[in-house]
Structure 1
């Protein structure tokens, strides 16, 4: 039989892959131990996207002789097929053998990033670009690592280098600019990206989020109209890698069916990433509560100065230790009083910031909690892929992402009867578990002291306020506020939106004919904010995304909250608190009644004072600020879910 190896390589070089494969197989039949032939044939398999077959041939080659090229190609195939754990072991060995090989460092760093080991990835990728600064892929993965470590400016610098090789990096630059609070830079970046890729849903969602943050109501509406048109077009299909971020979907205006589909798509991409990390091992079923205490684990990136941390800080210590053992899994390091209170309230606290997702899942699986409660959902810093790896037999979502998740790894979402009434539509696949009280936990808080002079607030006038951040506001809400002030000429409105949103806010305020009785306030430390809230008369809640942690602290300061109930959990959070307190008169069914109620309270002498007295009595007869309330609620649900049949 003639030697076909030369023919195979010639055909391979000419990209005649079918003919080359036949020639390779003929040659290998005659020379089955020829490792160079094995390597070349494996490369052909890799080039034709048959990585699983290529892996077998590369491993066969490497079993006979060490080869840098075969090792690198094997790592590329393992990365492409999601065999990340195996690839990381090989990559760690390879960089020890060839410490001066840039590609080896690139593969090690990229595999660390994919595994979620971002702190380990950074030095590997910096070594790579030091050896060969022209490797654009290395700059991209370095940007990913720095972004995950929340070093936004450094990430932007890395992405800018990578952008010389891949213009689409402008999207990542915009995202890091957003995280760094550089919203106008983020806006420009998303707009540039959308000009390059006009059909990308993920870019449209991010752009709409940035427009919402800057109170650009008309621009946001235009972007969302464009998104709706794309998603409902019969000739349009999302690209395979187009996964819009979930958090903005919870409040941006979009049909529920479209929102549910996009959330399902987002969850599927997370599940795929999780399956790439490692094979899932079943979580151990715990033994009966009669034999030991119920183990409840809490997973969060926000065990510190964050709205979730502020709300839940007292719950862990409030659990009944006769029946519960508490585990805390922290995805981000925090300092300060809140973080110390949270750590002290747990039986076991794990700081897992630098650990990859698979390692976190394995550690949780080893601890064997009966129930794992995720407090992050799809918010910044959360790691839903840990939940997707199924480290616990029962997994629940609570507090961080108050919305449908479409997450097959969750066995239930903890909501309440006002935030998601049993009779209300629920277009999501997640199972709703109703708490017996409001979804928001509380802890003892100082009531605040009224002092308008200290904050530069006008004396002897009805002072209305909103402490909602800018992206929670929308055109309908602003028109309602304008109507309220136009009909209560003595009233003033205090708004606390960030500096970057004020130009957009004022543009729309004047466009709608808003009066001059408008004040802007900056963010304050908690104690000072309590005093400022106590100095106001009525909190005007937002519509599409209502107040949460700020509502609890405002109520503690004696500030009543006027709400308009909506059709999503986030648009009913103020409703939840008012109904729990029995302040039903502050829950309005529509915008017209919201406006009318605000005018009534602001114009009738003594109405606001009487309302504050009613609120004081409601707070006195309920346990809104008692963390044991929520701890007992969670215990009851966990016991019910883990009860042996």
Structure 2
């Protein structure tokens, strides 16, 4: 017969749990240390002590304590799972995976271990394995919200956005208030041409009516100070695409007229975070601070304007905006659509990305169109020099796309197949981390094969983690092919900076028109197609004109440097003027 907890130990452990509920961690730790010293066979005591130590940021110590728990009770699945987490934090990924696997062998219904193992597999780009693992779990527990949510995320990361849309709807059927699933659903709707602007807008309104975003707001008191106070709130003040578009604005703000606050919601700051910190006068860390308290913090800063840089993307704080902590609230850059929130007053855009009279009906915000470009871009400092078009050396044109794989839909692949057929001998280089997974490569290759394009004409490259190596790959591309109906933004800017012309297809909504905006602002309207036939013809014409490719390549950086896209000072002045105009109109300033 195995170890049995004595009545005394059970009482002591209940007391420890009470201490933990009250936040008395040190007292709980002392009690647990005494308990395991007196009774080394008490697995639950070792486990709780390990959890405390792990939460304090000492995974190596937690792992030692968890091994003690497993000596006392080898089939303790909670201890096995926690050991897997500790080992993973220590960089021992394979050992961590083995712990999760052992916990599932003992108890196939133990969701914590299944989800942790699936996430570990996903991080390692073993996407087909992660999908299968979660699918098995769903077969055992069809009503599990957590398993279904992670399953939907894995589908989306593989680029199977239409399937992911259905999977997120299943999560919401089980839990209508699941905000992350609701917001991920909104994001995935933009990838497929099967969803109309009207349908997408209706989903945004539905999201805004959900409990997490349906909150009472407290009117802010206008402040009559010398300078206008602007706050920027983002989870992406780090090595992220959004930072490339907000950093130049933060640098160029007129500090005599504007006082800048940055509100960061990020778990892991990095070198970019430190750089951005130096570009604002007030830095506030909101990570893990509840919305109600964070709203009070922002209200205490007496802002004139609070600008959201995330929309419905990961790490956003839209429930905080729903509390209306600032008199004027605006969304910008991070999300290509309405938030659906009545508390969000404006969304910043331009006439190319949101043509006047066509986009207003699908927004709860008023559209604030900057005169030229809706944003400006900071070129990567480590970008290599522009290389000549590779076709001059190889004799054959290479098309390329480095966009998020979710944007590479069957409709996009079908048109790309037509482009390759129209340009004999041409090849296509696709780059994205999910291509590390053999299942993803096989699925994409199969879709090209259906379009009559053999594997010898397609390269599916997982890419490089370092920015300079990633950008150097543009030296292998003659012409970039944009995705649709969700265009590239950062990828388009990077391609143009590396001298690679980008062919884009302009659609009806912002996500489908960022390519048109960027190219128009760079004087490259010739690369903007209004339909698939034009897209095909532009790609064919560009491939046939080697002189034009060389001309575009060699003059690329001068062209961009002279464009609104790199005119950070000018775009920032335009933004400031627009904000001043709104505040004056509202009588706030």
Q: 1:632 to 1:469 in 2, by over 3 A?
A: same
Kindly provide the CA deviation profile for residues 58-103 of structure 1, in whole angstroms up to 9, marking residues without a partner as x. xxxxxxxxxx999999x9xxxxxxxxxxxx9x82369959975999
Match of 2:260 in 1: 326
Match of 1:188 in 2: 132
In the TM superposition, residue 325 of structure 1 has moved relative to its aligned partner by 0.7
In the TM superposition, residue 479 of structure 1 has moved relative to its aligned partner by 1.5
Match of 1:479 in 2: 414
Match of 2:373 in 1: 438
Kindly provide the CA deviation profile for residues 32-59 of structure 1, in whole angstroms up to 9, marking residues without a partner as x. xxxxxxxxxxxxxxxxxxxxxxxxxxxx
Contact 1:418 1:572 in 2 (8 A): yes
* RMSD between superposed Cα atoms in Å: 4.9
Pairs within 5 Å for 1:349-388: 349-353=283-287, 355-388=289-322
Match of 2:154 in 1: 210
Q: Does 1:285 align with 2:221?
A: yes
Match of 1:573 in 2: 514
Q: Does 1:642 align with 2:589?
A: no
Please say which of residues 619-628 and 482-491 is displaced more in the overlay: 619-628
Q: 1:260, 1:172 → 2: CA distance?
A: 34
Match of 2:236 in 1: 302
In the TM superposition, residue 641 of structure 1 has moved relative to its aligned partner by 3.0
Match of 2:449 in 1: 510
Question: Please, what TM-score do these two structures have when normalized by structure 2?
Answer: 0.74
Q: Look up the SS of the partner of 1:385 in the other structure.
A: helix
Q: Does 1:589 align with 2:525?
A: no
Match of 2:499 in 1: 558
Contact 1:440 1:548 in 2 (8 A): no
Q: 1:182, 1:354 → 2: CA distance?
A: 30
Structure 2: gaps spanning 5 or more residues: 1-12, 36-43
Number of equivalent positions: 543
Q: 1:172 to 1:520 in 2, by over 3 A?
A: closer
In the TM superposition, residue 136 of structure 1 has moved relative to its aligned partner by 9.6
Contact 1:299 1:328 in 2 (8 A): yes
Q: 1:607 to 1:412 in 2, by over 3 A?
A: same
Contact 1:565 1:589 in 2 (8 A): yes
Kindly provide the CA deviation profile for residues 589-610 of structure 1, in whole angstroms up to 9, marking residues without a partner as x. 1222211211121124534335
Q: 2:101, 2:241 → 1: CA distance?
A: 33
Query: Which structure's CA Rg is the greater one?
Result: 1
Match of 1:79 in 2: none
Match of 1:423 in 2: 357
Structure 1: gaps spanning 5 or more residues: 1-67, 76-87, 113-117
Q: Look up the SS of the partner of 1:282 in the other structure.
A: coil
Contact 1:583 1:615 in 2 (8 A): no
Q: Look up the SS of the partner of 2:259 in the other structure.
A: strand
In the TM superposition, residue 520 of structure 1 has moved relative to its aligned partner by 3.9
Question: Please, what TM-score do these two structures have when normalized by structure 1?
Answer: 0.68
Contact 1:205 1:224 in 2 (8 A): no
In the TM superposition, residue 237 of structure 1 has moved relative to its aligned partner by 6.1
Contact 1:175 1:186 in 2 (8 A): yes
Q: 1:223, 1:344 → 2: CA distance?
A: 39
Kindly provide the CA deviation profile for residues 378-428 of structure 1, in whole angstroms up to 9, marking residues without a partner as x. 323333333334332222221112222223442222222222223325434
In the TM superposition, residue 319 of structure 1 has moved relative to its aligned partner by 0.3
In the TM superposition, residue 555 of structure 1 has moved relative to its aligned partner by 1.6
Q: 1:286, 1:158 → 2: CA distance?
A: 56
Match of 1:91 in 2: 22
Q: Look up the SS of the partner of 2:22 in the other structure.
A: helix
Q: 1:182 to 1:531 in 2, by over 3 A?
A: closer
Kindly provide the CA deviation profile for residues 186-231 of structure 1, in whole angstroms up to 9, marking residues without a partner as x. 322443355457689997786455335335x6xx656657888x89
Please say which of residues 314-323 and 359-368 is displaced more in the overlay: 359-368
Contact 2:499 2:552 in 1 (8 A): no
Q: 2:323, 2:31 → 1: CA distance?
A: 36
Q: 1:418 to 1:201 in 2, by over 3 A?
A: farther
In the TM superposition, residue 577 of structure 1 has moved relative to its aligned partner by 0.5
Match of 1:523 in 2: 464
Kindly provide the CA deviation profile for residues 267-304 of structure 1, in whole angstroms up to 9, marking residues without a partner as x. 455636x96xxxx783642323xx41011111122212
Q: 1:636, 1:145 → 2: CA distance?
A: 51
Please say which of residues 311-320 and 162-171 is displaced more in the overlay: 162-171
